[in-house]
Amino acid sequence: MSAKIFPDWKKTRFCSLVKRIVTASFSLLLLTGVAQTQALPKLKIDRNAISVSGLSSGAFMASQLQVAYSSSFMGAGIVAGGPYFCAMGNLTYTGICMGQVPRVPPNPAMLFAAAETSSRIGAIDPLSNLGSKKIYIFSGTADTIVKQSAVDASVQFFKLARVPDSNLAYVSNYPAGHSFVSKVFGNLCPTNATPYINECVNDPPNTANDNNYDQAGAILQFIYGKLNQPAAKPTGKLRAFDQKLYGAANPVSSMADVGHVFIPDSCGKPRANCKLHVSIHGCRQSQQSIGDDWYTKLYLNNWADTNGIIVLYPQVNKSLRRPYNPRGCWDWWGFTGSNYAIKGAVQMDVIMKMIAALGAL
């Protein structure tokens, strides 16, 4: 009877259709990262060699991590970011914190006083730790989104924290728009547009074949000291991992299901003693918005590959419900809760759990 219902040609057609559906479904899983994600591997990492950097909302988050968890981070790269706790939990202050209110810049003295109070009650690590940290800060002269008056205040905050001039680099002479400056990819230097990654010629030009400013190298070498030359093409592995395992399943976090980590081949060896750098994207820069640009085209992986530096790329997505985060920003004004800038804050806690899972804490 089955032969009458399913003649051979129909069987073949049916099987072919099923095969196509299964193949398409598996391909979709691969594209969304669901089939590839896994837990972070536990690696051998020097606990005294953990650093962080970020752009825009990621720069504010990098500052929050450096200040709140100063016992854990040896240095930070802050690209187009204002001072720690600048918005003080109030969305209406964000314009001031971005330098958008004429003649009303952020007040670093007031913000440092607030940080002192948080430190005294143990909500953040002792501010005295900051004096030994390496802080790189960048502001482009063509940045129309986070203007230099806001970034100047970030510099002043760290000066108030007694970070010596030798440990504080402020690069403010490039005509860059609102962007991370990549050596190998991006918009023209003055651009203020997606993907917020630009290329800028050195000022003054260097003698290398490529005169583009290498912000990834500038940040890493200021924090860690002189490093090996970057790889022309990294041979390490870029892996997707499940952020939900570390607290991102909490919808209040606004974090994506999937993050990424770059692991140099040398860091998988038994006697490895690697460094860890956390790279935090800005608003509208997650994989949801710009694909793989942030975690493959900054030139960070090139430096990491030849210097035993693991690079963690956590991800935040847009959210139109609770919390309301329509641009996919990191929380620097309190949309995840009033404790957003102190230890245990939901987004920072997720990142710290990722760092611990990698074996760095």
Active site residues: 56, 143, 178
d(CA 118, CA 2): 76
Q: What single letter denotes the amino acid at residue 33?
A: G
Instruction: Tell me how far apart the alpha carbons of residues 61 and 160 are, in angstroms, rounded to a whole number.
Output: 19
Dig out the tokens for 359 from the structure.
Answer: 């074996």
Distance CA 57, CA 151 (A): 12
Eight-class DSSP state of 73: -
Rounded-to-integer distance, Cα 193 and Cα 199, Å = 13
E strand or H helix at 134:
strand 134-138
- Peptide bond between residue 234 and the one before it cis (omega within 30 degrees of 0): no
Report d(CA 277, CA 297) in Å as an integer: 16
- Tokens 């997505």 map to which residue? 317
Whether the CB-CB separation of 86 and 106 falls below 8 Å is answered with yes
Cis peptide before 323 (omega within 30 of 0): yes
Determine the Cα–Cα distance for residues 347 and 345; give it in Å rounded to an integer.
6
- Tokens linked to 279: 């790279």
* Neighbouring C-alpha atoms within 13 Å toward the C-beta of 150: 32
Q: Within 10 Å of residue 150's Cβ, how many Cβ atoms?
A: 25
Long-range Cβ contacts of 216-221 (<8 Å, 24+ apart): 216/182, 216/183, 216/298, 216/299, 216/300, 216/302, 216/303, 217/183, 217/299, 217/303, 218/136, 218/169, 218/171, 219/53, 219/77, 219/136, 220/51, 220/277, 220/300, 220/303, 220/304, 220/307, 220/309
